[in-house]
Amino acid sequence: MNNDIIYMDNHATTPIAPEVLAAMMPYLTTNFGNASSIHPFGVAAMDAVEKARLQVAELLGCSAEEVIFTSGATESDNLAVRGIAYACREKGNHIITSTAEHHAILDTCHTLATEGFETTYLPVDKYGRVSPDDVEAAITPRTILMSFMYANNEVGTINPIADIAAVAAKHGVPFHSDAVQGIGQLPSEMESLGVDLASLTAHKIYGPKGIGALYIRRDAPRPQSIFHGGGQEDGVRPGTLNVAGIVGLGAACELAKNYMKTGKNCVATLRDALHLKLTARLGDIHLNGHPEQRLPGNLNLCFTGVQSHALLMGLKSVAVSTGSACDSESVKASHVLVAMGIPNELALTAVRFGLGRYNTAEEVEIVADEVIKVVSRLRELSGN
Ligand SMILES: Cc1ncc(COP(=O)(O)O)c(C=O)c1O
């Protein structure tokens, strides 16, 4: 890996914090026991798992019994939506979500349609937010679940989760939130957010990939397991526990809790400095997402006239993301930007800067200079 490249794609994934790696190492080497074994190797592994569960619970302000370990947020989202749909099938078949959700939610709802479940996909406003009034209007006597993300992974917009939770509670509808991008960066206490279930993943908070959790409030309906096997994780998520990963998730949660007290504003300050410099030196920039209600490290910009893929190819020392996906035949605009009403042509110019814990003011200067240089050159070439 080229260490000269400045990493600003922390919504895609984050590097493992050194403290997290150090906590994991014994469980990748000498302490390799299966947490289900009853000999000392197994007991040591299970002790580590339970300590990590407490660390996760402390960040979420919940009790350890309310945390189920999974392989990441895709699995947590699938388990929450499909598991609640199956568990509540007797009561109804209607789910409510939004058009700006992650594909782990959208595609799960799409596939449930083949099994007789119906989903209402609510629109979002121009910032990417769901309206609690729209949520209330969409509820029917057959509604068994609603799922809305805490903060959007592309544009960083924060949903009014507590207000939506109040609507859900008023109508007695279980409320799941894909809270992957918010947990560890925004207030993370489940009780104050008011959600019944929430998905999180370690690799967005400086932990390892392939490990996550699902918070299930004590008095919420229990998702029906979508896997069959041993009885681990209370039977909700059977399978041999990923002890090293779980230890890493626990350590990452503890670090995040401490970091939120001190570091959050630093990231937002760097992000704003980057935005300011780009706006001052380049015209025709459009900020995607809410100007205030957004993740501290998120800066999603459209550079009019410059295709995001061309810009990324031109950036030699910066790692950022486009707001579009390539398939073999075409480049498709992000479904989130389209849902926000951004015209297709403009959406294809979107670039996501995801600043994180380890970025510095010096890096912001270098990134800004390089982006200004490449955008100016591409605009010149295309006559814009
Ligand atoms: C909002 C959101 N949900 C779900 C996921 C999937 O998480 P994981 O990679 O842990 O499966 C991601 C990661 O890209 C995400 O940003």
Tens-place pLDDT, residues 112-136: 999 999 999 999 999 999 999 999 9
- Determine the Cα–Cα distance for residues 325 and 332; give it in Å rounded to an integer: 5
Atom of ligand 1 nearest to the CA of 202: 10
* Cβ of 306 less than 6 Å from ligand 1: no
Task: Find the 113 Cα to ligand 1 centroid distance in Å.
Answer: 22
The answer to whether residue 253 is catalytic is: no
For β-strands 118-122 and 94-98, DSSP reports them as parallel
Contact 174, 221 (CB under 8 A): yes
**Token couple for 199:** 């998905």
Task: Find the 123 Cα to ligand 1 centroid distance in Å.
Answer: 21
What pLDDT, on the 0 to 100 scale, is given for residue 383?
A: 77
pLDDT of 264 > 70? The answer is no
* Span 102-116, pLDDT tens digits: 999 999 999 999 999
What pLDDT, on the 0 to 100 scale, is given for residue 344?
A: 94
* Cβ of 181 less than 6 Å from ligand 1: yes
* Cβ of 152 less than 6 Å from ligand 1: no
What pLDDT, on the 0 to 100 scale, is given for residue 328?
A: 52
Task: Find the 354 Cα to ligand 1 centroid distance in Å.
Answer: 14
Which residue in 267, 272, 244 sits closest to 256, CA to CA? 267
Contact 331, 286 (CB under 8 A): no
* Cβ of 149 less than 6 Å from ligand 1: yes
92 or 1, higher pLDDT: 92
According to CATH, where is 3.40.640.10 located in the chain?
18-259
What pLDDT, on the 0 to 100 scale, is given for residue 325?
A: 63
pLDDT of 327 > 70? The answer is no
According to CATH, where is 3.90.1150.10 located in the chain?
263-381
Beta-sheet strands, E only, within the chain: 6-7, 67-70, 94-98, 118-122, 143-147, 175-178, 197-201, 212-216, 285-288, 298-303, 318-319, 321-322, 324-326, 331-333, 350-354
List the single range of 148-152, 167-171, 212-216, 326-330 with lowest mean pLDDT. 326-330
**Token couple for 235:** 């039977």
pLDDT of 329 > 80? The answer is no
pLDDT of 159 > 80? The answer is yes
What pLDDT, on the 0 to 100 scale, is given for residue 195?
A: 98
Instruction: Indicate the pLDDT class of residue 331, thresholds 50, 70 and 90.
Output: confident
What is the third-level CATH fold of 18-259?
Aspartate Aminotransferase; domain 2 (3.40.640)
What pLDDT, on the 0 to 100 scale, is given for residue 330?
A: 66
Which residue in 108, 183, 192, 109 sits closest to 153, CA to CA? 183
Atom of ligand 1 nearest to the CA of 209: 10
283 or 250, higher pLDDT: 250
Write down the CATH superfamily of domain 263-381: Aspartate Aminotransferase, domain 1 (3.90.1150.10)
pLDDT of 355 > 70? The answer is yes
pLDDT of 242 > 80? The answer is yes
* Cβ of 211 less than 6 Å from ligand 1: no
Give nearest CA residue, ligand 1 atom 16: 153
- Determine the Cα–Cα distance for residues 177 and 138; give it in Å rounded to an integer: 17
pLDDT of 280 > 90? The answer is yes
* Collapsed DSSP state (helix, strand, coil) of residue 58: helix
- Choose one of 69, 204, 205 to mutate for the ligand 1 pocket test, by most ligand atoms within 8 angstroms of C-beta: 204
Our CA angle for 226, 228, 233, nearest 5°, is: 80
Atom of ligand 1 nearest to the CA of 212: 10
Contact 255, 17 (CB under 8 A): yes
Task: Find the 115 Cα to ligand 1 centroid distance in Å.
Answer: 25
The fraction of the chain above a pLDDT of 70, given in percent, is 97
* Span 38-76, pLDDT tens digits: 999 999 999 999 999 999 999 999 999 999 999 999 999
Atom of ligand 1 nearest to the CA of 74: 11
Average pLDDT over residues 309-319: 95
Q: How far is CA 48 from its chain centroid? A: 25
pLDDT of 2 > 90? The answer is no
* Cβ of 178 less than 6 Å from ligand 1: yes
Contact 164, 150 (CB under 8 A): no
